[in-house]
Amino acid sequence: MVKFVENELQAIRDEVNDMWKLVYQQLSDACKAVLNVDYYLVDRVVARERRVNAFELKIDSDIEDFIALYNPVAVDLRFSLAMLKINNNLERIGDYADSIARLVVRTELSDAHKQLFAQLKLQETFDAVLKMLRTTYDALQSQDIVMAKSVFEDDDMLDVLNREAIDVLAEYAKQHPDSIKLCLELAAVFRKLERAGDHINNLSEETVFYIDAEVLKHRKNKVDSTSQTDNAE
């Protein structure tokens, strides 16, 4: 019986790891698609979005089956619940990646916009989000609580970058009235990146919960309180 449980837990762990890598690749490709105005990468992100959604459903089903069949307790139960929530948060990040990539098509971006990207520190913002996602993955693999919690400070920096970008966009729109639609679209990208950061915070919290049974969920108002905003976007 113990061997069966261990095998099932490992299978779930492998699936979540694969989902994490897939979502990371989606977000990375979406970032490159925007920065390089790469229509090929846009198509790849959009095509793989269906895979992300299917993966989420399968992992949810496998975890629910595991809980129903084996009635886990203690650390095994914490692991199951944490992976369930991690899976859902990863799917949301995948949604953001898809929407960000589509910006290239919606606004007909060109190389002429790259100077604006530099003013917005768009590359730095993308890098910050990807670093957070990579750090939380590494923290889970090494079961490192200190590493998991380190993303909270990175998220504060992400909030600053977002606020600065909105100010730059507002000024740019004043000087270039014909670019208002582009500015609104770029503002939405920064908002999605900020939301992605919130979901990555959730990944970190669930990692800490699984490892140490410490609940960080209500340390501040985050993703759970912004679900309506997520739906609106």
Query: Could you give phi then psi for residue 70, rounded to 5 degrees?
Result: -110, -10
Structure tokens, 168: 């730059």
Identify the band that residue 133 occupies on the pLDDT scale cut at 50, 70 and 90.
very high
Sole residue written with tokens 């590494």: 138
Model confidence at 224, in pLDDT bands (50, 70, 90)? very low
Residue 58 above 50 pLDDT?
yes
Band (109; pLDDT cuts 50, 70, 90): confident
Q: Examine the pLDDT at 225 and tell me if it is beyond 90.
A: no
Asked, for residue 51, whether it belongs to a domain, the answer is: yes
> In the structure encoding, which two tokens stand for residue 232, read together?
């609106």
Domain contains 233: no
Q: Residue 228 above 70 pLDDT?
A: no
Q: Which domain does 154 fall in, by range?
A: 2-223
**Cα–Cα dist 202/217, whole Å:** 8
At 75 the pLDDT is 93
- pLDDT reported for residue 137: 98
Q: What CATH code is carried by the domain that includes residue 208?
A: 1.20.58.220
pLDDT digits (tens, 9 = 90+) for 166-214: 999 999 999 999 999 999 999 999 999 999 999 999 999 999 999 988 8
Task: Provide the domain count of the chain.
Answer: 1
- Average pLDDT over every residue of 29-44: 95
Whether pLDDT at 223 is above 70: no
> What percent of the chain is predicted at pLDDT more than 70?
92
pLDDT in the model for residue 4: 84
CA distances from 228 to 39, 49, 85 (A): 31, 22, 18
Residue 54 located in a structural domain: yes
* 63 occurs within a structural domain: yes
C-alpha to C-alpha distance for 56 and 47, rounded to whole angstroms: 16
Does the residue 146 lie in any domain? yes
Greatest C-alpha distance within the chain: 69
Distance (Å, whole) CA 26 – CA 49: 8
| pLDDT value of position 221 | 52
* Distance in angstroms (rounded) separating the CA atoms of residues 90 and 105: 24
Residue 95 has pLDDT above 90, yes or no: yes
Q: Distance between CA atoms of 177 and 175, rounded to whole angstroms?
A: 6
Inside any domain, residue 80: yes
pTM of the model: 0.90
Residue 179 lies in a domain: yes
Task: Provide the strand spans (E) within 80-204.
Answer: none
114 within a domain of the structure (yes/no): yes
